[in-house]
Amino acid sequence: MSEIINKITQRISEDTIELFKKNDRRYYIEIKPESIKKVASLLFNELGFRFITATGMDCEKYFEIIYHFSYDKTGEIVSLRVKLSKEKPEIYSLSSIFSAAEWIEREIWEMIGINFIGHPNLKHLLLSDDWPDNSYPLREK
């Protein structure tokens, strides 16, 4: 385990559900959805990670968002995984921590239908403005 990953795991032990090391440069950490702001802020503001993007997907029993962060000093990528319930898919927006989250959160909102609490401008990004409500292209039928 590299130095930077040790630093992270020490700080977020109570927020972590599972840590998975894919190889030397790829780590996946599943965390509790309510801790996302705390962990993202730790990575971005304190440890100097760069936010790459987020992947939203519809798994059968839950929705999943994976936030990918890059540590450019060593080339490691830490992916934070959160699982959200199908009944009420929502999570705190990260756009107050870094502006780069604004677009991708709008995209996940319109494609999968996950609500981002506290997003300043949650409107369509890729789909047209008159796209019907409650119709999400990337949800499994």
Question: Rule CB under 8 A: which residues touch another protein?
Answer: 22-23, 25-26, 28, 50-53, 55, 57, 66, 68, 70, 72-77, 79, 98-100, 102-104, 124-128, 137-138
For another protein, give the closer residue by CB, 38 or 50: 50
Closest listed residue to residue 38, CA positions, set 100, 88, 80, 87: 80
Hey, is 74 helix, strand or coil? coil
**H helix or E strand, kind and range, residue 78:** strand 76-85
User: How many Cα atoms sit within 13 Å of 117 on the Cβ side?
Assistant: 9
Minimum separation from the CB atom of position 79 to another protein (A) = 7
Q: Identify which of residues 82 and 104 has a Cβ nearer to another protein in the complex.
A: 104
Q: Nearer Cβ to another protein, position 16 or 77?
A: 77
Minimum separation from the CB atom of position 125 to another protein (A): 6
Tell me how far, at minimum, the Cβ of 15 lies from another protein, in Å. 21
**How far is it, in rounded angstroms, from Cα 98 to Cα 5?**
21
Distance CA 36, CA 106 (A): 17
